[in-house]
Amino acid sequence: MFQDMEHMAGDFEHLVLLSILRLGPDAYGATIRRDIETRTGRSLAISAVYTAIARLEEKGLVRTFVGDPIAERGGRRRKHVALRAAGERAAREAYHALRGMVDGLEERFEHS
């Protein structure tokens, strides 16, 4: 899997990385949370998402930046999240690892 141990991400961090990749410029805490909840059926605390984002940023896999003020938010700004090159590689590797693990199991799960 990911060769550089310093950048290694955990299972939940992989979900966050994949969500950021999917959401692109619309990636921020609430949209990431909603995306993961919708796709996994897991209920998440927003603090878990922000904790994962902070860990991913420390590992150099993502960067955060504050966007422009938004009228719907009373003029407050959103903290957006974007993948760095290493984060995109980690997301791709997580995707391929998961695909490799489930390959051949579709029929088994469809009939159970």
DSSP 52-77: HHHHHHHTTSEEEEEEEE-GGGTTPE
The pLDDT of residue 100: 92
- Between helix 11-23 and helix 29-40 the angle, nearest 10°, is 110
Decide if 110 is inside a domain: no
The pLDDT of residue 7: 53
Question: Cβ distance 19 to 12 under 8 Å?
Answer: no
Domain encompassing residue 32: 5-101
Q: Which CATH number do you get for residue 41?
A: 1.10.10.10
| pLDDT of 3 strictly over 80 | no
Decide if 111 is inside a domain: no
Over residues 36-87, the pLDDT tens digits come to 999 999 999 999 999 999 999 999 999 999 987 776 656 677 889 999 999 9
Decide if 21 is inside a domain: yes
Helix, strand counts (H, E) of the chain: 5, 2
Number of domains in the chain: 1
| pLDDT of 2 strictly over 60 | no
User: Between 29 and 112, whose confidence is greater?
Assistant: 29
Decide if 106 is inside a domain: no
Q: Which of 2, 11, 20 is nearest to 64 (CA)?
A: 20
